[in-house]
A and B are shown apart, each in its own frame.
Chain A
Amino acid sequence: MRDVAIVGIGHSKFGRRMDVDLAELAFESIKGAMEDSGVQKKEIENVTLGSAGGWYEESLPAVLVNEYAGFEDVGTMRVEAACASGSAAVRSAYLSVASGEAEVAMAVGVEKMTEVDTLTSVELMGRSGSYLWEFENYGMTFPAYYALYAVSHMSRYGTTEEDMARVAVKAHHYASMNPLAQFHKEITLEKALSSQVVSWPLKLYDACPITDGSAAVIVASEEAARRLTDTPIWIRGIGFSSDSANLSKRADYVGLRATVDASRKAYAAAKVGPNDIDVATCHDCFTIAELMAYEDLGFCAKGEGSRLVREGQTEVGGRIPVNVDGGLKAKGHPIGATGVSMMVEIAKQLRGEAGGNRQASIKNGVGLVHNVGGTGHYCYVTVLSRSK
């Protein structure tokens, strides 16, 4: 397998984007990534689109996006790994180059979630499990799945609703400095704690919003990367794993086994450990998910996630800054775009381009992307670095 680098990044404004349709939204990021890399259209040999779909009117988003952007005779497909579809798309582009099939490939993530009403979105996400046994008679929702984890974590380790709210306050703080984020207002602990209960103990401010958005990365072989850029960001290791569709088949509810397994594989592939990571994006679809991710990725011991956020260890200046782009929680979570957006953020951080008070201190030149699909159904962990 050849070394592969990210040579171009593009990212749309996240939010309620009723000013654009699916292809127009994807185009914003495709164009951005091409301009960032200087890659010509004819150099891009294939395009993988990450999109969960179901909430927008198109059934074949990959060809639609290709057509709109004018990619002709270019192989494409849509990949689905729920909320980790973006990382799955990046893995596909990575493999195409690593295998020697292509010199330059593109991964695009896009989701358009606000064209249907909110409760229909809630329904479609709630069906993300084992339908007959979780939804048909019991009406599970996405917040409800993560609430099952929150209650167990609180009971086992003494994690509190306030600990979870701190994650939301941190996310909104950094989103306020990210012009591409959905939300730009800081929130207080009191505001988070007094927000509407969605699925107890999770409240509105424990949950990521429903978001439209896109992101794109262009990956290249070493030879192409050296020609295109002075700041290639190397994909050093990808680990991916899965867990049961039906939540009741799991042994416990205090962490995601798929995260533990995917991160173990990614660390081994990249020959690094959790202590080598300068900056990370963790999959914070709910506040409890970020606390569990700290633990499952080895940033702290099991049960100590809330201590890390209480001590500010995951802020800029702390031991390991996490989600200093606002995270899914406040930057927004356009399902299929999220994984690619995370790659864009870590590439920016490693290039030193995050800007202002969002820029983490880069010592080892190593960053980590943690992207979960569903409730730990899928997990992708990708290690990126400044040097190879």
Chain B
Amino acid sequence: MPDDSAPPSLRSKRSITLRFNIPISKTSRFWEALGEGRFVTTKCADCGKVTFPPQADCPSCMGSNSQWVDLGTEAELLTFTFVQVTPTSFVDHDPYVVAIGRLKDGLNVLAWVEGGDPAKLKPGARLRVETRKDPESGPYYVFVTPS
């Protein structure tokens, strides 16, 4: 916002756009499965530790023999928020509800609550994970509130 009383500043002529290429080779199965409508994660073949988000190397025993397992989709809402001031790269997006839900096996997931009415949500509410395919941004997952 222009401010006549502001001290002089030099507006830099140089600008850069940061867009990262994020390596996902070790977890690409997760994103492929999402595209097929399945919600999966990694389980350590050595010690049995299941992790979410998926990771190739086990944080428990440090083994590197992971296998893919299906995750349940029923969750209990632990907490949520209704984001009304959105960051630059979401500036054209409608405000969104984000929740952390706990799956039956004890793993937590953070995702948007699709169509979630913040006035009706509270900790303890039932949620379900569903997969989505966006033609532009690729597959992702959301929570829905079962009717």
Contacts of B7 in A (CB 8 A): 18-19
Closest to B7 in A: A19
Question: What is the CB-to-nearest-CB distance from B87 to chain A, in angstroms, rounded to a whole number?
Answer: 4
Most buried by B among A117, A122, A202, A248: A248
Question: What is the CB-to-nearest-CB distance from B98 to chain A, in angstroms, rounded to a whole number?
Answer: 6
Q: Which range contains the number of B residues in contact with the other chain?
A: 35 or more
Q: Is the CB of B85 within 8 A of A152?
A: no
Interface stretch of the complex, out of B42-50, B65-73, B76-84: B76-84
Q: Is the CB of A126 within 8 A of B140?
A: no
Q: Is the CB of A134 within 8 A of B83?
A: no
* A122-B81 contact, Cβ under 8 Å, with A132-B22, A152-B123: no
Question: What is the CB-to-nearest-CB distance from B5 to chain A, in angstroms, rounded to a whole number?
Answer: 10
Instruction: Give CA–CA (A319, B115) in the complex, Å.
Output: 46
Most buried by A among B79, B80, B82: B79
* Cβ of A268 under 8 Å from chain B: no
Contacts of A123 in B (CB 8 A): 87-89
Q: Is the CB of A18 within 8 A of B6?
A: yes
Instruction: Give CA–CA (A155, B89) in the complex, Å.
Output: 31
Q: Is the CB of B108 within 8 A of A250?
A: yes
Closest to B3 in A: A18
* A139-B89 contact, Cβ under 8 Å, with A57-B12, A134-B110, A253-B100: yes
Instruction: Give CA–CA (A143, B85) in the complex, Å.
Output: 9
* Cβ of B63 under 8 Å from chain A: no
* Cβ of A387 under 8 Å from chain B: no
Contacts of B85 in A (CB 8 A): 119, 122, 141, 143, 196, 198-199
Contacts of B79 in A (CB 8 A): 148-149, 151-152, 155, 253
B positions within 8 Å CB-CB of A: 6-7, 9, 12, 22, 24, 52-53, 78-91, 93, 96, 98, 100, 108-112, 118, 122-123, 137, 140
15 contacts between A and B (CB under 8 A): A122-B87, A132-B22, A132-B53, A139-B87, A148-B98, A148-B100, A150-B81, A151-B81, A155-B122, A199-B83, A199-B85, A247-B110, A248-B100, A252-B78, A253-B79
- Besides the known contacts A138-B112, A141-B83, A199-B83, 14 further A-B residue pairs in the complex with CB atoms under 8 A apart: A18-B6, A119-B87, A119-B88, A132-B24, A137-B111, A137-B112, A139-B83, A151-B80, A152-B78, A200-B82, A247-B110, A248-B52, A248-B108, A253-B79
A positions within 8 Å CB-CB of B: 18-19, 57, 115, 117, 119-120, 122-123, 126, 130-134, 136-141, 143-144, 147-152, 155-156, 196-202, 246-250, 252-253
